[in-house]
Amino acid sequence: MKRQRLIFFLFLLVGMGFLNYPFVSQWVNQRNQSKVIYEYEKKAEKLSDTGKQKLLGEARNYNSKLRAGRVLPGDSFGGGAEETSAYREYQKLLDVSGDEILCYLEIPSIEVFLPVFHGTSEHVLEQGAGHLFGSSLPVGGAGTHAVIAAHTGIATRMFFTDLDQMKTGDLFFLNVLGEKLAYQVDQIVTVTPDRTDLLRIEEGKDQVTLVTCTPYGINSHRLLVRGKRIPYREAQKRAEQAKESGFLIWGKRVFVLSILFLGAAGFWLLKPSKRKEEKG
């Protein structure tokens, strides 16, 4: 009887492991991302005001040239630009930490907290989000349109897996060298990869578009979630209401319930059977 109980408990343990794996792996990944972002913040804080303004000024000059050139960026997941001299010059911009992090992105409604790297090569997109070369650098300002891409459906990393759950009116934030920028979603569309016209700079507007592949497992299209710039203080108040809502909070609940359930099962396993009690 005890052997049967032990086998049952082992099956239960394996089942609980599978149930909690997505939540635990996401928690571990978020901790790793947080460490990367923490290192970026430390290096940004050490910059003098003069040094910070120099980097931001270079980025704004880059954006002015893009605006004047009126060239559309390519597909976020197309690649191919990394070997050009223009790309190598681009990599030097806003690279305060020496590891090609431009800024970091926070999306409270779907609990995304990611470093944003230069470019959208496969190497970059395995680490976090990537800034699309050819789009405005994410420093804000009228006549800018930054594009940030990340993968969907990676087994151990959520990245932009829940991007399709965002709604018009949701908020997301960028932190660039300590400068905090807030954006409110005003357009969500699914398009073919060649529809890069939707990533163009619009005169007088400050926009950021988040991009991922869709549908899951097929990746034939691109999901574009566009945000327009709004005042940071106003956005911050609204974002507080969205904290701790979603994947990870459910994960915490499932984890706690699993521990309680396994504890009860373990107690049942170790409890002497009635026959032994009678013999005793």
Instruction: Please answer whether residues 74 and 81 qualify as being in contact, where contact means their C-beta atoms are separated by less than 8 angstroms.
Output: yes
Inform me whether the pLDDT recorded for 25 exceeds 70.
Answer: no
Lowest mean pLDDT among 9-13, 117-121, 131-135, 201-205: 9-13
How many other C-beta atoms are found inside a 10 Å radius of the C-beta of residue 160? 29
pLDDT of residue 151: 95
Among 34-48, 75-89, 241-255, the least confident range: 241-255
What's the pLDDT score for residue 268? 56
- Tell me what pLDDT residue 94 has: 96
The β-bridge partners of 176 are 179
CA 176 to chain centre: 15
Backbone conformation region of residue 146, classed left if phi is above 0, alpha if psi is from -120 to 50, else beta = beta
pLDDT at 134 over 80: yes
**In this model, does residue 259 exceed pLDDT 90?**
no
Torsion, Cα 176 137 187 175, to 10 degrees, reads 0
Look up residue 122 and give its two tokens.
Answer: 């496969």
Most confident of 7-16, 27-36, 61-70, 204-213: 204-213
Is residue 117's pLDDT more than 80?
yes
Average pLDDT over residues 17-45: 70
Would you kindly state where each structural domain of the chain is located, as residue ranges? Answer: 47-245
Q: Of 249 and 200, which is predicted with more confidence? A: 200
Average pLDDT of every residue of the chain? 83
CA nearest neighbour of 177 among 220, 140, 228, 222:
140
Question: Among all chains, which residue has been given the structure tokens 């050490």?
Answer: 46
How distant is the alpha carbon of residue 41 from its chain centre? Answer: 17
pLDDT at 98: 81
Q: Is the pLDDT of residue 39 over 60?
A: yes
- CATH no. of 47-245: 2.40.260.10
HSE, CB side, 13 Å, CA atoms: give it for residue 255: 14
Q: Give pTM, 2 decimals.
A: 0.78
pLDDT band at residue 273 under the 50/70/90 scheme: low
Angle between helices 247-270 and 2-46 (to 10 degrees): 150
Question: For residue 176, what pLDDT is reported?
Answer: 97
pLDDT at residue 221 above 70?
A: yes
Q: Report the pLDDT averaged over residues 112-127.
A: 93
Residue with tokens 């759950």: 165
Nearest to 208 by CA among 114, 61, 105, 126: 105
Spatial distance between the Cα atoms of 225 and 227, rounded to a whole number of angstroms? 7
Question: Among positive and negative, which fits the CA dihedral 105, 107, 108, 112?
Answer: negative
Confidence of residue 266 (pLDDT cuts 50, 70, 90): low
- pLDDT tens for 136-187 read 999 999 999 999 999 998 767 789 999 999 999 999 999 999 999 999 999 9
Nearest to 242 by CA among 192, 150, 170: 170
Q: What confidence score (pLDDT) does residue 267 get? A: 61
Query: Residues with Cβ < 8 Å from 22, sequence gap 6 or more?
Result: 251
Helix H or strand E encompassing 83: none
